Structure 1
């Protein structure tokens, strides 16, 4: 039965993407079929085989060690500040981002990351039927972050047509940066984080290929990577450390604001309508949760968490999921995969602002298709969670 429901969910995702397509006649179905098959194979390998368990275990172990190293720095500065036997979210989940960011900076400086990003992107371009620039950007987004990635392609931003700009922004919203993957693993199981990272990479191209179909002229398929200004090692290290701290404090501020606002709105709705705002959203999203493969008994609560992610951010939703009671293991797994992306309203402003900072006109263009961007990125999350659900 779960396969029938899951397949119905996948068909619904394609229909919703098809309805929003800018040019249905230009949709190329062969790359879509190849990528869907790849998603299914990868989901099966990651969730149901010894090889998948080994890979996820290795990935999780690596981040576990990195987070333990990060804890050394956090404890040196904040040791004794926290209450005994309590685990403050900011100290244990967010501040380790500073160390991960520094590590990314080092790998970037010694040219390891640019090499990985470029050649994985080239391989992806052969599979997805899209341009080299789009494929590079998707991989770079998953490593560098949704705003930083545009710096690496800023030479081409000004001359980029609307349809290619949309695909670049869609990749940035559908993926998550490596600097915060460790923070996610503190809140949800590593196997779901890794599965979502892999499936979203292909899912972003699948949905973009339907909503925003086009072919890139080989003469225009040029990848010009912007080299960062040459810095000394310690200049670079200091910059990445400060960037990591900015990310941690920004996320903390967003959490304070969004959690407080949602609590206030819940209180207002409960007082007037006798039902909280999150519960109301849960009923609206419940049918989608059910078609993703979540048991109907869990659909309302799961739908509420999914909606919380869209109106706030994934950290608020993950903490809500962590504190949720009564959800089945299957529902937790599917919702976890859904939450691993930047698909929320605040990301529209972040991406538009990042592009605008590099090219004012193109930033305004991004703001104009911002809602369509969120719509597509949300479909990517639904597709990834639905396919993962088939193999749970």
Structure 2
């Protein structure tokens, strides 16, 4: 091949004339000189070999820079992690020193000192080891010893559990007999509790399949919580301090309202300028607690309690515990992966617990209406086990559940926020939907209620009864229901109106009316407490449509199942609230410190800072000096 042929060589390795001569190094004689051509040096893209050498050097240098960058990022991340740990440890040490100085300065604040110490210990354990890991190190050896020396057959374990349940019920019965002996009128709500249980059993979808363990333990947990809160003075003290603390915490919303709406004008309209901003503030706080993992820890703990005591499935237990803090619409996001595989009984339990409890953000608004904070908070907690009991009584399990606990709890993640500021902002923005929901519903339903009242009054005036209104109708329709829950007969009509508004309109308007009744001293303290437990739930007809839309949006494949069980779940949620009100009616005797004060005069002074008197921590929304006047204070006759 000559140089002329070489110039016609193609990139495919063939000559231009079609020969298959390979491109190898050959000697060619051109006149008198011999030229050696190394074909490997001829690049395929038309450049020389030496042009590719800088590319290889660049790639090697780039890889070196990438390695250095990754190493620097790892070092930076490690340093940041260590720095955060150092700040955390320094903060814990500083707070521990502060606690020591507090004890040295004021030894009488032992209760809050214990709370501080316990909180610090739990935070340290949660940060570095994890609560479950520490508990596992303690329980694992105990389980090993039990398996080695205390081998109990499953049959005996079941018998022991039944014996323990029967023992608790006998003890509860003896306590109630001794407690109600001098006040037989408190037997009325006990009869109402039995009546609700019988009604749920009669209307059950499968009475022979009822899981009585869930029903009985649901009642036991209710009574245990009720005794601790309503009858045990230390328990009432803790709950009262917690309620006053929440009320004080929510009062800081006024600073934001004053800045936005004006210091002199922010109270001109209570709902818009004072109540709804509380929802924004508390929603931001809840979002921060989710970012820190506090809410997940509490929800998981309550779910484990329900699952262990009531033998409910992980999904049912998780949903019920979550509904205490978040609404049913929000919970469908976390439950979305499991909705398709839920049995009808599990689905009913999930929906019933949503109707029986209220979200934490709405609880904040109810407290601002002037309702007793401690009872608003505990009502949602007490209604949660009642919701599981009612659901398992009214729609027993006839299928085989498939959910696993680890999958359910893992789905309750911390969130995608990068810091506390972003979490607070995200929580505040989330409240926009809730505020718009509350606002448009109040406008719509109050307007419709006014129209219905006018129509009924007009029809009644034509026969000589212009007082015939929606409230008048509800006061007579639900009066027996209020009576069997322990409401004083003189107040049954007014409480019945609240029940009617809760079911047919919404609970927000009912709590607003209850706050007005408290301000005007229209009902006594016992009726106030029972009404608070009655109204603490999303059990309205309007909520049915909202929840149906939320569940359908989460998983539309079970739309018919949602629609089929929605009415039954709404009724069951209301019945759970009514059962909680019955328990409150059985156990409530006024202020448990009243009798203690007779034995120890120092008790009154000790708890004076947290009593519901003129120095209440929560500013009244009706421009009064306190939530309750002196005649409505806890313990007044």
Asked if residue 272 in structure 1 is aligned to residue 459 in structure 2, the reply is yes
Judging changes above 3 Å, is the alpha-carbon distance between structure 1 residues 333 and 69 closer, same or farther for their aligned structure 2 residues? same
Which protein is richer in helix relative to its size?
Answer: 1
- Residue 120 of structure 1 corresponds to 302
- Answer whether contact 1:258 1:316 (CA < 8 A) is retained: no
Asked if residue 351 in structure 1 is aligned to residue 567 in structure 2, the reply is no
Looking at CA atoms only, which structure, 1 or 2, has the larger radius of gyration?
2
Asked if residue 366 in structure 1 is aligned to residue 562 in structure 2, the reply is yes
For residues 1-392 of structure 1, what are the structure 2 equivalents within 5 Å?
1-80=184-263, 82=265, 86=268, 88-187=270-369, 188-214=371-397, 217=400, 220-222=403-405, 223-224=407-408, 225-226=410-411, 227=413, 230-233=416-419, 234-273=421-460, 274=465, 275-324=468-517, 326-392=522-588
Quote how far apart the aligned CAs of 1:389 are. 0.8
RMSD: 2.0
Superposed CA deviations along residues 266-304 of structure 1, whole A, max 9, x for unmatched, are 121112122111111111111111111112222222111
Quote how far apart the aligned CAs of 1:198 are. 2.1
- Answer whether contact 2:345 2:398 (CA < 8 A) is retained: no
Quote how far apart the aligned CAs of 1:246 are. 2.2
Quote how far apart the aligned CAs of 1:196 are. 0.9
**Per the alignment, in what secondary structure is the counterpart of residue 358 of structure 2?**
coil
Quote how far apart the aligned CAs of 1:228 are. 6.9
Quote how far apart the aligned CAs of 1:10 are. 0.7
Quote how far apart the aligned CAs of 1:126 are. 0.8
Judging changes above 3 Å, is the alpha-carbon distance between structure 1 residues 278 and 37 closer, same or farther for their aligned structure 2 residues? same
| Equivalent pairs, count | 391
Return 249-258 or 4-13, whichever deviates more.
Answer: 249-258
Q: 1:261 & 1:81 partners in 2: Cα distance? A: 32
- Answer whether contact 1:356 1:364 (CA < 8 A) is retained: no
**Per the alignment, in what secondary structure is the counterpart of residue 144 of structure 1?**
coil
Q: 1:238 & 1:357 partners in 2: Cα distance? A: 25
Quote how far apart the aligned CAs of 1:87 are. 5.3
- Answer whether contact 2:356 2:380 (CA < 8 A) is retained: no
Quote how far apart the aligned CAs of 1:379 are. 0.5
Q: 2:490 & 2:353 partners in 1: Cα distance? A: 33
Judging changes above 3 Å, is the alpha-carbon distance between structure 1 residues 185 and 216 closer, same or farther for their aligned structure 2 residues? farther
Quote how far apart the aligned CAs of 1:170 are. 1.1
Superposed CA deviations along residues 299-332 of structure 1, whole A, max 9, x for unmatched, are 2221111111111111111122222353232222
- Answer whether contact 2:303 2:318 (CA < 8 A) is retained: yes
Q: 2:545 & 2:213 partners in 1: Cα distance? A: 34
Gaps of 5+ in 1: none
Q: 1:18 & 1:350 partners in 2: Cα distance? A: 28
- Residue 103 of structure 2 corresponds to none
Q: TM-score under structure 2 normalisation?
A: 0.59
Judging changes above 3 Å, is the alpha-carbon distance between structure 1 residues 254 and 385 closer, same or farther for their aligned structure 2 residues? same
Judging changes above 3 Å, is the alpha-carbon distance between structure 1 residues 163 and 246 closer, same or farther for their aligned structure 2 residues? same
Q: TM-score under structure 1 normalisation?
A: 0.93
- Answer whether contact 2:244 2:373 (CA < 8 A) is retained: no
Q: 1:367 & 1:216 partners in 2: Cα distance? A: 20
- Answer whether contact 1:40 1:387 (CA < 8 A) is retained: yes
Quote how far apart the aligned CAs of 1:31 are. 3.3
Q: 2:392 & 2:307 partners in 1: Cα distance? A: 13
Gaps of 5+ in 2: 1-183, 589-637
Judging changes above 3 Å, is the alpha-carbon distance between structure 1 residues 231 and 333 closer, same or farther for their aligned structure 2 residues? closer
Quote how far apart the aligned CAs of 1:236 are. 4.0
Quote how far apart the aligned CAs of 1:235 are. 4.7
Q: 2:346 & 2:214 partners in 1: Cα distance? A: 17
Return 121-130 or 245-254, whichever deviates more.
Answer: 245-254
Q: 1:97 & 1:315 partners in 2: Cα distance? A: 13
**Per the alignment, in what secondary structure is the counterpart of residue 326 of structure 1?**
coil
Q: 1:253 & 1:81 partners in 2: Cα distance? A: 26
